[in-house]
Amino acid sequence: METFSKKVSMAVVRRLPKYYRYLNDLITQGQERISSKELGEMMGLTASQIRQDLNCFGGYGQQGYGYNIMELKSAIEVLLGIDHKHTCIIVGAGNLGLAIANYDEFKRKGFELKAMFDIDPKLVDANVRGIRIFHVKEMTDFIKLYNVKIGILCVPKEHAQIVADEMIDAGVSAIWNFAPTDLKVPDGVIIENVNLSESLFTLSYLLNE
């Protein structure tokens, strides 16, 4: 039962949000503890895999008892960094940008949207639930002033790389990229892609089989 964690592989990291989601549901249902067997059945994973996964980051289980849901949830919350606030901006105030801006859940998990940016003068100065849309030329100064760490990129793919470069120069350390293109960024900058085309094409492949 080490306090410090083993290396958590990317495969495990990608499952952490799912654990978090199921643990939250269990709390809502008022459950206090759960075994790897039960949780596995709920989530469609093997009990063995769950024990391996959870053991990567410390001994939150207890032989003969299982896992305390509250404790485990808190541990994952800390790992995921959703126990503290993050400052975000959205660049590109089209439908997708607006959809993200309107998604309350992110705010509740500590992702604070400070502003939106767009190049279209018709959108500039508009308000989205109290969030102002600025012209992109204001972006660099804004990022520096508010120490923004997460940039959410919702511009057309033609402009994605240049906006990403500007964000990074200004001090952003992670980009949530919705543009269907692979950004080139310096080492240490985190990119998380959401590529809707790739997702839809995968669905289409499976439909075709």
3, 4, 11, 29: which one contacts DNA (CB under 7 A)?
Answer: 11
Rounded least distance, CB 63 to a copy of itself, Å:
28
| Residue 4 binds a copy of itself (CB under 8 A) | no
Task: Please state, as a whole number, how many other Cβ atoms lie within 10 Å of the Cβ of residue 127.
Answer: 9
**Selection from 194, 171, 188, 193 nearest residue 89 by Cα:** 171
Contacts to DNA from residues 58-87, by CB under 7 A = 59-67
Q: Which residue has the tokens 């949830």?
A: 73
Rounded Cα distance, 198 and 169, in Å: 29
**Selection from 178, 22, 35 nearest residue 93 by Cα:** 178
What Cα–Cα distance (Å) separates residue 105 from each residue in 82, 101, 108, 178?
12, 10, 5, 18
| Residue 37 binds DNA (CB under 7 A) | yes
C-beta of 51 vs 86, nearer to DNA: 51
| Residue 72 binds a copy of itself (CB under 8 A) | no
The residues that touch a copy of itself, with contacts defined as CB under 8 A, are: 13-14, 16-18, 20-21, 43-44, 79-82, 86, 94-96, 98-100, 102-103, 105-106, 109, 111, 149-150, 173-174, 176, 180, 182, 190, 192, 194-208
